[in-house]
A and B are shown apart, each in its own frame.
Chain A
């Protein structure tokens, strides 16, 4: 296994900049996810690590060896493609043994490795079949098997679960995590699915439009997003974001949106709101920090319920407060109807503030993170 260092890597296709000045370190035996929407450059970055594309600028090191000019066949990396890329004309057995055969590995060694890996992945009975006879899940395991059999320094996975149906995807998520933990492998995983990234990674690197937004542990990304994009991308249902201002009224500060005004907490443990007064801001609050106010209390916001989504375990509401719409995450048994007038209670200790223009995070509820014992 190996560590990887990406230093100042950019990639241009003609006039289009796919990847811009990326700096990233992947520690030995860690699972790092490149997360971002379509077109953010994550697959391009992965291809550059594999050697299928050349960086326009910057260097890539595997185990402190500069590999920019090294062709893919010599990098000792294994890649699992989104389409699995199985050799259609070969049996499973031949698919798994191909890489070893062309390197001249002894026949008995190949056989024992193929046996071991196919048992590990539960595809042993299928060894003599051809790819077109297999289901999607089975093909995916073969693609994995092909990579594992090579005992590479790094595993590169390009959205391996996106072609599977939802139930299979959840199952494979857990299996993959367990598998790579067992193998003690260095893994770079590409996905647009934030749930996959959150559940499987040691570290997440969030990309947007070719630029690295933030690198951190899943909980760091979740609780301490560095900008509005990261905050909105991670977490389901997504964080509520609306324009606002902080107004001063004597000793108290108020949060003012187009629809309502709330008094900001002023206890000794709450944050200082002074620096944020008088600017254009964006407020963020996660749906799980909004509740329905049972009785009329001060500091509640009036709204009308537009949509109720019952998932069984949760109930999600879309509530219109005027110009803004807020998503609430309530327990499954909540009793609400569409059209119902209700009151939302904001847990303002869990408020996020972003600068409206730069979209950088100005204030985050740090205590949430440390309450979970994640970061000091």
Chain B
């Protein structure tokens, strides 16, 4: 028994080393591109395309960031503003509309209600490219082509199925008795929604809001189909750098950093909610 036991100790030791190596390697793999993005954003112009590449900038400069925001030709300030507006407004509305609908779906005693709910959920799973072109044609014909409004509406529609489904799971976890006693006290659906359900499902609302906000911030396909000049968002601005502006890696990296840093900070603070939102479906399914 002694030798077998010693072999087990060896196995555990080897595993610990393998584990440490794996984690370090993967973490490095994950971080290097982000670090590289940042380094590129503080390089001098001549250093961008240097061969061999410059790893540590000799004189780090914030000129790229300055250019992004001071240069009158730069779309960065507009893109930033638009992204913020779109994200906030679309998130607010999708959470509001979505939770109201989820409430209705979980309370309606109508036979078709679950069917309808299922249909809404299904709408979250088809390739949006199918709807992008027609939506564009429609918006174009009613003159809303290059507007934030068109983008906001599209984003709300994008987030609704997932929000509805998320809130339905949270609402189902609230014991019916709480509402039943409120009903006996004379509360109608709206006041029950506001006074009981919303406070209790607050974490769920947080998850829904966070996931919606993230999706709006990073969305490219729909926004780029609609925006021309006035409604540009950060992802569009970044994509444009490669096609329109050529290899200006410096300002492009700076713009990338501007887009990425809010995400990272956001993630650090709300990761618990993020994980919950992502896994809720997978585990119950």
Interface residues, chain A, CB within 8 Å of chain B? 70-71, 73-74
Interface size on B, residues (CB 8 A): 5
Q: Chain B contacts of A73 at CB under 8 A?
A: 8
Knowing that A71-B5, A74-B5, A74-B8 touch, tell me 6 more A-B residue pairs with CB under 8 angstroms: A70-B5, A71-B8, A71-B12, A73-B8, A74-B1, A74-B4
Q: Which residue of A lies closest to B5 (CB)?
A: A74
Give B71 Cβ to nearest chain A Cβ, in Å: 57
Give A99 Cβ to nearest chain B Cβ, in Å: 15
Among residues 58 to 111 in chain B, which have CB atoms less than 8 Å away from a CB atom of chain A? none
Bound form: Cα–Cα A70–B8 in Å: 9
Q: Chain A contacts of B8 at CB under 8 A?
A: 71, 73-74
Q: Chain A contacts of B1 at CB under 8 A?
A: 74
Q: Which residue of A lies closest to B11 (CB)?
A: A71
Report 9 cross-chain contacts, Cβ distance below 8 Å, ordered by A residue.
A70-B5, A71-B5, A71-B8, A71-B12, A73-B8, A74-B1, A74-B4, A74-B5, A74-B8
Give B15 Cβ to nearest chain A Cβ, in Å: 12
Bound form: Cα–Cα A117–B150 in Å: 71
What's the dominant secondary structure at chain B's contact region?
helix
Q: Chain A contacts of B12 at CB under 8 A?
A: 71
Give A77 Cβ to nearest chain B Cβ, in Å: 13
Give A354 Cβ to nearest chain B Cβ, in Å: 45
Q: Chain B contacts of A70 at CB under 8 A?
A: 5
Bound form: Cα–Cα A70–B5 in Å: 7
- Select the residue from A70, A71, A73, A74 with max chain B CB neighbours within 10 A: A74
Q: Which residue of B lies closest to A74 (CB)?
A: B5
Q: Chain A contacts of B4 at CB under 8 A?
A: 74
Q: Which residue of A lies closest to B6 (CB)?
A: A74
Give B12 Cβ to nearest chain A Cβ, in Å: 8
Give B4 Cβ to nearest chain A Cβ, in Å: 6
Give B246 Cβ to nearest chain A Cβ, in Å: 57
Give B87 Cβ to nearest chain A Cβ, in Å: 42
Bound form: Cα–Cα A281–B155 in Å: 76
Top-5 shortest CB links A-B: A74-B5, A71-B8, A70-B5, A74-B8, A74-B4
Bound form: Cα–Cα A71–B15 in Å: 15
Q: What mask results when residues 1 to 23 of chain B are scored 1 for a CB within 8 Å of chain A, else 0?
A: 10011001000100000000000
Among residues 1 to 54 in chain B, which have CB atoms less than 8 Å away from a CB atom of chain A? 1, 4-5, 8, 12
Bound form: Cα–Cα A71–B4 in Å: 11
Bound form: Cα–Cα A73–B12 in Å: 13
Bound form: Cα–Cα A71–B7 in Å: 11
Q: Which residue of A lies closest to B8 (CB)?
A: A71
Q: Which residue of B lies closest to A65 (CB)?
A: B1
Give A68 Cβ to nearest chain B Cβ, in Å: 12
Q: Chain A contacts of B5 at CB under 8 A?
A: 70-71, 74
Give A243 Cβ to nearest chain B Cβ, in Å: 43
Give B47 Cβ to nearest chain A Cβ, in Å: 52
- Select the residue from B4, B5, B12 with max chain A CB neighbours within 10 A: B5
Q: What mask results when residues 137 to 178 of chain B are scored 1 for a CB within 8 Å of chain A, else 0?
A: 000000000000000000000000000000000000000000
Bound form: Cα–Cα A74–B7 in Å: 11
Q: Chain B contacts of A74 at CB under 8 A?
A: 1, 4-5, 8
Bound form: Cα–Cα A123–B8 in Å: 34
Q: Chain B contacts of A71 at CB under 8 A?
A: 5, 8, 12
Bound form: Cα–Cα A70–B3 in Å: 12
Give A51 Cβ to nearest chain B Cβ, in Å: 11
Q: Which residue of A lies closest to B1 (CB)?
A: A74
Give B13 Cβ to nearest chain A Cβ, in Å: 12
Give B2 Cβ to nearest chain A Cβ, in Å: 10
Bound form: Cα–Cα A234–B124 in Å: 61
Q: Which residue of A lies closest to B12 (CB)?
A: A71
Q: Which residue of B lies closest to A76 (CB)?
A: B1
Give B179 Cβ to nearest chain A Cβ, in Å: 33
Give B84 Cβ to nearest chain A Cβ, in Å: 44
Give A72 Cβ to nearest chain B Cβ, in Å: 10
Bound form: Cα–Cα A74–B1 in Å: 8
Q: Which residue of B lies closest to A70 (CB)?
A: B5
Bound form: Cα–Cα A73–B1 in Å: 11
Give B273 Cβ to nearest chain A Cβ, in Å: 27
Bound form: Cα–Cα A71–B5 in Å: 8
Bound form: Cα–Cα A5–B12 in Å: 27
Bound form: Cα–Cα A74–B5 in Å: 7
Give B9 Cβ to nearest chain A Cβ, in Å: 8
Bound form: Cα–Cα A73–B9 in Å: 12
Bound form: Cα–Cα A217–B12 in Å: 42
